[in-house]
Structures are given as C-alpha cells and as structure tokens.
Structure 1
Amino acid sequence: MKKLYGVTTAMVTPFDEDSSVNLQKVAELTEFLISKGVHCLFPLGTTGEMLKLSVPERKAIAETVVKTAKGRVTVYIHVGDVNVNNVMELASHAHQIGADGIGVVTPIYFGVNEREMESFYIQIASNLPDNFPIYLYSIPQCTGNQLSVEVANNIAKACKNVVGIKYSFPDFTLMSKYLDVNDGDFDVVFGPDHLFLPALALGCTGTVSGISGVYPEPFVALYDAYQERNIEKARKLQKLATKYCHALKNGSNMSYFKEGLRMRGMDVGVMKGPQLDLTSEEIEDLRNSLLEIDQELSILR
C-alpha cells in the first residue's frame, strides 16, 4: 500500500482554447513533474478545476496520468464531486486503472451534519478493497463543510482503507489533532504550501502542493534537507518557496499557475470559464516577480 509523502504535487488540468481537455499536455506535464523529482502526483483536485470536468473527462485524465507515470511515482486520483454517484464511479475507476489510491473531498456546497459526513465516507470506503488507500480531504474554505477530528476518527476506525487526510487550511491546532486520529496510525498531508517545513516538524508526512506544480524544485530540496536534518538549509528553502507562493497568489487563482508554467516552457493551455486568463499587465507583473525569485533559486541549488 503506497501512501502520500514528501512533495505530492496537485496538478493543473490543461485545456485547449475550446475548453476541451488536452491529454497530450496532461502527459507532458506528468513527465515534467516527474523529471523535477516530485514524490507523488495528485490530479483532478481543486488545482485541477475538477468540478468543471465531466466524469468521462476525469476518467481520461486519470488514465493518462497513471499510464504516463508508469509506477515511477505514487499517483492518487482525486474523485470528489457534488454527486455521490459520481464519486463512487470515479473511485472504482481509479482502482481499476491501477492508481495507488484516491483522495475524496468532503461534501461540497450543501451543509452536512456529522452523521451525514461519516456516512458519506463509510459508503465510499466500503465499496473499495481494504488494501486500496483513501485519504479524506478537508478544505472548508471552499466546501463550506468542516471535518471534525471525532468524525475522522470514527471513519478511520470503521474503514481499514482510510489511512489519512489531506488538510488544506492553515490551522495548526486542528492539524495536530488529526495526527492523533486512529491512535496515531493516520497520515496527515498539509495543503498550505507556505507552511511545509513547520508541518513536517509537527509530524506531517508531506504536503499536497499546488505551487510545486509550477516550481517543484524548492519543495523537493526542502524535503530532502529536512530528511537530512539540515534545518538551516530547509529554513532558507521554505522562505524561497514562500516567495513563490506569494507570487503565484497562493493557489487562489489557477491562471497564475498556468501562466507560470508557460513561462517555464510548459504550455498547459488556458483557464476554463468562468475563470479567465491573466491580463497582459498581470502577466508582466508575474514575470518580473518570478525572474527575481528565480535568481535566488539558482543560488540555493
């Protein structure tokens, strides 16, 4: 059973001008990220604009990433959706195509109580083999639903295949409590990229990072430095990674990710509406910011 660790990169979804998915660019992006040393890939999450995609599109992207990766890195497919039937279908598909596991975001938009939250996850987990790992995924600022420690614990106790959580809100107190779920046998990967190092220090196994989808290098180097117990170097790399986070708007606008990748020679197409591509002024500001930070990256590497 492969789990998430180190730098797990949340992938953008490449679109053509007509808003269709470009699978060739999905494959190219997969190769780019693997070449930069990331440890795991996480397509079709928030960064991947998942709710703008049809079920067939999501299946095609998942298949492309798994096929391209060829087992060189761990691949988890995010399968969350507003429609529970879609979640079940996508989860089964991820298992069938040989993904290493799945992530499932909490219910979205419509409020759920704790009994409903627990039932939702147990229903999904019970439809999959016990040895196919599942990560809960909590991003309350987007979904409108918080996943309590008590419910996470109940789910993990009831479902052998629920092995951890992707937590994408900068609340260290709650994050530290997730680490105690299931008597401590529960992985936590932290979403806020600018807090990667302190999250590792508290016991997280890694980050699920959108910023690393554009600039994997400082995050991979940070994780390596931490594993080597070179904390001073890790601190410097965290400061550098944080500068990239600020320049790329901390993942609040995926058009910055796509433009940043384009500037690095990796064209991943356009945003799918209603979101728009950056203006020429925004592109120029981003270019200037990244050029300045890139000089620091070249010195540290």
Structure 2
Amino acid sequence: MAPSAEKKLTGLVAATFTPFTPQGEVNLAEIGPYIDYLIEKQGVHGIFVNGTTGESMSLTVAERKILAEDWCQKARGKLDQVIVHVGCMSLKDAKELAGHAAQIGADAIAVMAPFFFKPRTADALRSFLQEVASAAPNLPFYYYHIPAVTGVNVPVRDVLEGVEELIPSFRGVKFSGIDLMDFGQCVSDSPPHWSFLYGMDEQLLAALAMGADGAVGSTYNYAGCHFNKLISAFKEGHVVQARKIQFKMQELLSYAMKLGFDVGVNKQLMNELSGLSLGPPRLPVTPCPFAHALLIVKKYHHVFTDS
C-alpha cells in the first residue's frame, strides 16, 4: 500500500478529463503536462481519474487500465493522492479494475453504483461494493454517490450502516448529490478516520459548513486556485470572503449552464484555460461549439480577474 493511503484524505481533488487525440484515441502524452499544470497553476495535489469527468463509461476496460497506470506512474512523487474510479456495469469488470489499481500503486479506489440494473436497496448496493472492494482489500475504498447520473437514490446514510464490517478498507464517500441533510447525517454519524468529499462544486461552502473534509470536482482542474482560497478563508473564519468566492463560481457556472454545460463544454473550457490539448469528448457526448467555449472563458476572466 502506498504510504499516503493511511493519511486522511482532505482538500481539493481534481476529477480529471481523459486526454484524447483529435481522432478520439487515448492520448497519454498530455498526462505529464496535465499533472504539472494542476500542481503549478492550481495548487491541486490530488486527482480522481476515470470518473464521470473522465468519461469512464465511454472507455473500454483496457483503456481504463492504460490510463490509470499512466496517471499513477507520472503522479508518483508529485501528487499526494491518485484515486482511481473502478465502477462498471459489470461486477467482474469492476473487480478486474480494482485489482489492477492495487497492482499499479493507486492510493485509493472509488466505485459508483451500477445504473443499468440498479441496486434497489442499501443491502444490494453494499453487497456490490463489498465484492468490488474484495479485489483490492488493502486499498482505501470510497463509495461514489452521484444520483443525478446513476438514478440510484438510496440514501448514503443507509449505505453506511455496518459498511466497515463488510468492507474493512472503507474510508469514505465522494458525495456528488444535493441532499445536504443526507450528507450532514453521514458526517455526524461516522468515525473520524472516514473522509467525506463533496462533489457539487457550486455549493462547496455549504458542504464545508456541514463538515466536508474536502472536495472532488471537475472545476478544480481550472479553478482550483480560487477554491483553495475559499477553503482557506472558511478555515480561518472569514465566511464572508469564502462566500464571495463561492458566489463568483456560481455566477460562472450559471452562465455556462445556459449554454448547455456538460462534459464536452467543460472539457473545451479546460483546453482553453489551461493551454493543454485534451481533445474532444467521445460520443455520445458532442464537442462544445467553439463560440460557446470562448464566451465562457471570457466570463471566467471577467468574474475572477475583473471583479
């Protein structure tokens, strides 16, 4: 197990985009510069790879292995945490990816609920998670709750009941949902060594007030420097200053949503703001109209530079 695996996970974690060539093939050449950009420009030292932002469900198992291995290899000695999402519709595929993550030195794994044949109860979901975790018993394990995508609306507080008895490696939740009551009950009823990482970037401040240990999100790829200031302001008791930063991010995202903000738009925004060449998204996600990306970039600079 990597030494950092025993350290409680806190702070910002960027949910990384998967670099593609213009032809739609995995482009490993961009991963090294991507890592350097996160560290040097955004002050972000943790990554969550092959998740929703990384278009994991549009990748083959082989592609996910290649990507996970390259991220881990190039992050070694640079990043504090590499969390590999290994969730799949197939239990066997998920276990294969979990075992692979352990072999390549990932710091942790995460799993979202399967969403074609959905688990209908907390027991069914826990059983699925337990099976996946068993393939990498020494890696810290996180449940990735994202009901807007999976359609699995089982309260997380129910999933957590007795979960550590079934999964000794369980270490927390990536909570990408808007139900702050569920989130708060999870935090209040859980042991201190678990980490609760919030996944709705537009309302991170509210989650911090509810006890979030950190956050995993796509906007931390290009706005991590601003969110780091938000977290610092909150920790120092400067809530008004933290709120100002959160409101700025809400202004940007609200504007982007009117232009159809999705993974394709978000990826193009990252391309424009970072200077990296991450390529287009993979179908069925369609590329962002270039004019829309430029409008959002302009709005970004207006919100964070001019105001």
So what's the TM-score if we normalise by structure 1?
0.91
Moved more, 24-33 or 43-52: 24-33
Moved more, 15-24 or 179-188: 179-188
* Equivalent in the alignment of 1:21: 26
* Equivalent in the alignment of 2:53: 47
Mapped partners of 1:82, 1:135: distance in 2: 17
Mapped partners of 1:17, 1:288: distance in 2: 22
Q: Give the 4+ runs in structure 1 shifted more than 6 A.
A: none
Moved more, 1-10 or 14-23: 1-10
Mapped partners of 1:181, 1:88: distance in 2: 29
Structure 2 residue 305 is the aligned partner of structure 1 residue 298: yes
Contact 2:126/2:159, CA 8 A, preserved across alignment? yes
* Equivalent in the alignment of 2:87: 80
* Equivalent in the alignment of 1:213: 221
Q: Number of matched residues?
A: 296
Mapped partners of 1:37, 1:91: distance in 2: 28
Contact 1:2/1:100, CA 8 A, preserved across alignment? no
Contact 1:211/1:244, CA 8 A, preserved across alignment? no
Mapped partners of 2:142, 2:189: distance in 1: 13
Q: 1:3 to 1:21 in 2, by over 3 A?
A: farther
Mapped partners of 1:142, 1:292: distance in 2: 27
* Equivalent in the alignment of 1:105: 112
Mapped partners of 2:114, 2:132: distance in 1: 12
Residue 167 of structure 2 is aligned with which of 151, 159, 182? 159
So what's the TM-score if we normalise by structure 2?
0.89
Per-residue deviation, 1:222: 1.2
Contact 2:113/2:119, CA 8 A, preserved across alignment? no
* Equivalent in the alignment of 1:59: 65
Contact 2:195/2:213, CA 8 A, preserved across alignment? yes
Residue 144 of structure 1 is aligned with which of 141, 151, 155? 151
Per-residue deviation, 1:252: 5.1
Question: Deviation per CA, 1:56-91, whole angstroms, max 9, x where unpaired?
Answer: 111111111112212332110111111111111111
Question: Deviation per CA, 1:112-157, whole angstroms, max 9, x where unpaired?
Answer: 2323212111122233234x21110111121121333222222133
Q: What is the letter of the counterpart of residue 140 of structure 1?
A: P
Q: Percent identity?
A: 30
Find the residue that maps to 1:116 and give its secondary structure: helix
* Equivalent in the alignment of 1:10: 15
Task: Please list every run of 5 or more consecutive structure 1 residues that lacks an aligned counterpart in the other structure.
Answer: none
Question: Deviation per CA, 1:137-184, whole angstroms, max 9, x where unpaired?
Answer: 111121121333222222133322111011111111111122134456
* Equivalent in the alignment of 1:31: 36
Question: Deviation per CA, 1:212-258, whole angstroms, max 9, x where unpaired?
Answer: 12322211221222233322221111112222323443995111122
